[in-house]
Structure 1
Amino acid sequence: MAGQSNVAPVIIKRKKVVSGGGHHGGAWKVAYADFVTAMMAFFLLMWLLNATTEQQRSGIADYFSPTIPINKVSGGGDGAFGGESVFSEIVLPEVGTGSTSLNATAQDKSSGNEKSEAEQAETKALEEIEKMLAGRSGESDVHPDLLRHIVSRITDEGLVIELFDTDNATLFVDDTLEATPLLRQIASMLVRVTSIVSNKMAVEGHVHARPVVLNDNPVWGLSTQRAEEMRRLMIAQHLDPDRIIRVTGHADRELSARNPMSLRNNRLEIILLRSDR
């Protein structure tokens, strides 16, 4: 019995066989799908950049710009929002000193939150000119070839009309002050379109940057002289000289394109100033 107790125990090992042929899941499929989606979006973006004009690209950018029209409104109830709705226009103010756009208080008017009828009419007239320059007005007779060189926007200062060079056509001959026939046509058209208002004007000149190795950088003089040349062209088309109250050159300090030496930075800006400016 003692001899049998010294016998080593028998250990049996059982190997677990896992079948599946090396399958590692489908995570790579998700990554590949994301890659294909990104490439499709990239090629769609490149196609849009090539197939649209400057104004169309500006419209697309405005469409995706986040805008949240929120007005400060004090309602007439005593609930959490002080009224039936945050944007309620039918509830008369009873609690608080606020107002609605339909029922403005004297305090609201004095603070400048409500535009006068004259300001509203002026803005409407500027918007009409902007539509004509963008070809969105039924009365617009602006030639499509000219529209490719024009971008307009309404700012606090007034209506900014931007004229710029393209790869196929420029406003001036090379780096000189000689206006091309294109710029002469644009000047004539602007005088005609802006004649529906009497706002004062400002003319600004901008040029692209030169290489830093230049000893004599002509950008300041060139931008100012081009703005002055645009003023002369418009006056030659029977614009009232008294309407232009400012002519300035900004050299290459206010770029429109990311590349400082891009032709897109060669531009003129005609600003229809608001009456309070």
Structure 2
Amino acid sequence: MAEALQPIIKKKKVIAGGGHHGGAWKVAYADFVTAMMAFFLLMWLLNATTEDQRKGIADYFNPTIPISRISGGGADALSGDSIYTEETLARDGTGARQKENAINESSGAGEKDGKSPAEDQEAVSEKAAQLAQAIDESKNNLSEHLQIKMSPDGMVIELVESDKRPLFAVGNAKPSALLQELLGIVSASFDDVQNDIKIVGHTDANSFAANAAYTNWELSTDRANTARRVLLQAGFPQSQITEVSGKADTDPLSDDPFAPENRRISITILK
């Protein structure tokens, strides 16, 4: 009788996908670590910046706003911008050092004192940079009271108030020592620039009593006239001041109509 056949047993080892050496969990863990890093960076950024700087950063990453209307996120007099960058003057189609000036060419402005419009604009930009440096180097911490920006009319120097350091006495046009110091630096910085200037006074939305004869319109105009007189006392040529006016609270600098920075003097170095 033939020997009984012995059964052959095959053991099949099934290796499940993933397991201890699978890769799917690593991807998920990497995503988690990246998200936590971004979260802690956001927390640090919120703690290390001011409200104006955060507005500038938000505007920078908003694709609908090509140039920040608030600032470049910096804390100095130029708000993080450089007076010599091409982006700084992009609002009116000119760069700080380029030789073409579309607005000046279209207006038909000729040369003045042997300078072309582009050279004249470059001189103003250099003076503005000197003004910002002088403000930053002052001993009285004046940088928070100065903002420099461009407008279609020219370069605008904003002298702004703060809660603790006003430019004028409350409700009237009596100048403070702070305003006199700021205007003295402005006059010294632009002493040899031939451009005309205009001075505009601004107030916040706080108003006088109802039906009062004296309003923010009169107050802003009186404050602009006070700034004109202080500039003249500091040696600025009277012939270069072509306009003095007040806008009351119609052109606020802040979204808050009662913010102290709305109480300011705007000096435009005209093109």
- Alignment TM-score, normalising by the size of structure 2: 0.63
Counting aligned pairs with the same residue, the percent is 21
Provide the residue aligned with 1:156 in structure 2. 152
Q: Return the alpha-carbon distance in structure 2 between the equivalents of residues 56 and 263 of structure 1.
A: 19
Q: Return the alpha-carbon distance in structure 2 between the equivalents of residues 142 and 129 of structure 1.
A: 16
Q: Return the alpha-carbon distance in structure 2 between the equivalents of residues 143 and 197 of structure 1.
A: 26
Provide the residue aligned with 2:179 in structure 1. 183
Q: Residues 253-264 of structure 1 correspond to what in structure 2 (within 5 A)?
A: 253-264=250-261
- Which range moves more in the overlay, 258-267 or 166-175? 166-175
- Alignment TM-score, normalising by the size of structure 1: 0.61
SS at the partner of 2:254? coil
> 1:150 is matched by which residue type in structure 2?
L
Provide the residue aligned with 1:204 in structure 2. 200
Q: Kindly indicate whether the alpha-carbon contact (under 8 Å) linking 2:78 and 2:132 is maintained by their aligned counterparts in 1.
A: no
Q: Return the alpha-carbon distance in structure 2 between the equivalents of residues 124 and 205 of structure 1.
A: 27
Q: Return the alpha-carbon distance in structure 1 between the equivalents of residues 171 and 106 of structure 2.
A: 49
> 1:258 is matched by which residue type in structure 2?
D
Residue 141 of structure 1 deviates from its aligned partner by 6.7
Deviations 1:32-81 (A, max 9, x none): 96466245324413412189635364439x99x7999xx9xxxxxxxxxx
Match of 2:268 among 265, 271, 275: 271
Match of 1:124 among 122, 125, 135: 122
> 1:44 is matched by which residue type in structure 2?
L
Match of 2:238 among 241, 248, 252: 241
Q: Return the alpha-carbon distance in structure 2 between the equivalents of residues 210 and 29 of structure 1.
A: 54
Deviations 1:8-52 (A, max 9, x none): xxxxxxxxxxxx9xxxx8979957964662453244134121896
Q: Residues 218-229 of structure 1 correspond to what in structure 2 (within 5 A)?
A: 218-229=215-226
Going from structure 1 to structure 2, the CA distance change for 1:42 and 1:254 (only over 3 Å counts) comes to farther
Going from structure 1 to structure 2, the CA distance change for 1:38 and 1:191 (only over 3 Å counts) comes to same
Match of 2:210 among 196, 206, 215: 215
Deviations 1:188-238 (A, max 9, x none): 222211112121110001111127x95247221111111011011111223
Q: Kindly indicate whether the alpha-carbon contact (under 8 Å) linking 2:203 and 2:262 is maintained by their aligned counterparts in 1.
A: yes
- Which range moves more in the overlay, 261-270 or 44-53? 44-53
Provide the residue aligned with 1:37 in structure 2. 38
SS at the partner of 1:202? strand
CA RMSD of aligned residues (A): 4.2
Q: Kindly indicate whether the alpha-carbon contact (under 8 Å) linking 2:78 and 2:148 is maintained by their aligned counterparts in 1.
A: no
Going from structure 1 to structure 2, the CA distance change for 1:237 and 1:257 (only over 3 Å counts) comes to same
Q: Kindly indicate whether the alpha-carbon contact (under 8 Å) linking 2:78 and 2:147 is maintained by their aligned counterparts in 1.
A: no
> 1:215 is matched by which residue type in structure 2?
A
Provide the residue aligned with 1:55 in structure 2. 77
Q: Which has the larger radius of gyration?
A: 1
SS at the partner of 2:191? helix
Q: Return the alpha-carbon distance in structure 1 between the equivalents of residues 89 and 156 of structure 2.
A: 21
Q: Kindly indicate whether the alpha-carbon contact (under 8 Å) linking 2:153 and 2:270 is maintained by their aligned counterparts in 1.
A: yes
SS at the partner of 1:148? helix
Q: Return the alpha-carbon distance in structure 2 between the equivalents of residues 143 and 253 of structure 1.
A: 33
